Structure 1
Amino acid sequence: MNGTVYQELLSFLNQGKMLEQPGEVVVADYGSFVGKKSERLVVKKEGRVVLEVPFYNLRSLVIETSGASISTDCIVECAQRGISIGFLTADGKPCATLVSPYLTGTVITRRAQYEAYKDRRGMQLVKHFITGKLKNQVNTLRYFAKYRKAADGELYDGIQSLLARMEPLVEELAAIDGQCIEDVRGQIMSVED
C-alpha cells in the first residue's frame, strides 16, 4: 500500500471513529451498511467498502447511528464468535446489546483467564494470590501464637521461628518479574514451597 493511500485510510478511520480501540469497530455514519464477506466484517458507505476487519480480530461492534443497517449473516457470525453488538441512540446512550446465548459468563471468564495466562496479568494474579495466602497464614499463626506464649513456651517459640521464615517470602515474591507466568513458574513455586 503506497503512503498516500495509507494516509487517506488513516485519516478516514480517525475521522469516522471506526477503530476506537483494537478489537472494537464503531459505526457512526448515517447510511452505513455492516455485513459479512467470507471471514471478515465489512462496512460500506454509499456502496464503497470503507473498512474490512477479520472476525478473529474483533471483540465488539458498536452502531451509534439510527441510519445504519446490518446483515443477518453478520449478526449470526458475531453471535457464533462471541462478538457483542451494541446499539447506541443518537445522543450516545445505550439502546440495546446483542450477545450470543452460547457465550456465557463462564466462557467469557475462561477466555480472559487464558489470555491473561499468556501475558503479565497471569503472573501478577498468581503473585497476588500467593501473597494473600502467605499473609493469611502469617496472621493465623500470630493469632494462635498470642495464646500459646504463656501456656506452651516451646510451641510459641516454634511458631515464632516459622513466622521469621515466612515473613520475608512476601518480599521475595514481590521481587520476581517476567513477561508471563511460564517465565517465572519455577521461581514462584520455590517461594511457595
Structure 2
Amino acid sequence: VVGGGNIWRGANAGERGMDRATADYMGMLATVINALALQDALESLEVDTRVQSAIEMQQVAEPYIRRRAIRHLEKGRVVIFAGGTGNPYFSTDTTAALRAAEIEAEVILLAKGKVDAIYNMDPLLNPDAQKFTELSFIEVINRGLGVMDSTAASLCMDNNITLVVFGLNKSENIKRVVMGEKLGTIVRGENRS
C-alpha cells in the first residue's frame, strides 16, 4: 500500500477549510501516482508487478479485487495497492491494515521517511526521545504514539498482524527487513508473543 502524502495530504487540506471528502479523494489519486512510479521502478528491476486501485481507472490500474490480488501473489507478482479504501476519512494506514487482513498477510512493513522506529516522543523535535524496540498495539493506542491511527492499529491487533516500523532512508533497509533482520520497532498483539 502506498501513500500519497508527498503529493497531497487530504486530512490537512480539510483542516484548512477544504471539503474533507474532496481533499481525501485528491489524496487517493496521489496514491495512484505513487503506485505507478513504484511499479515503474520495480519493473525496471524486472520485478513483475500489478497495481490495483480502489478507485476505478482501468487505463492505469486494475480494480481492487481481493481474489485477483491473491492470485497475483500466488504467481509471485508484487501487488501494489492504491486509491486507499476508495472511501474518504480512511487513512492509508487503515488501508494497509485492511488489505493485509484481506490477503491474510502476517506482517506489515511500515517504512518511514523521517524516523527509523517508534519513539516515546518526536525524535526530530526532542533529542531525548527514547526508541522502542517492541510494543503491543494496546500500548501504541494508549500512549498515542502516532505511528498509525487507532483504526489501523485495531485492525492489525484483531487480525494478529505484526507491524514492523523502520527507516526508509538508510541504504538497503527494505532488503534488510524483508530478509528478517530486526530493525526499528516491532508491534504485536497485546501479549507481544
What is the TM-score normalised by the length of structure 1? 0.29
TM-score normalised by L of structure 2: 0.29
Pick the structure with more helix per residue: 1
Structure with larger RCO (C-alpha < 8 A, sep 6+): 2
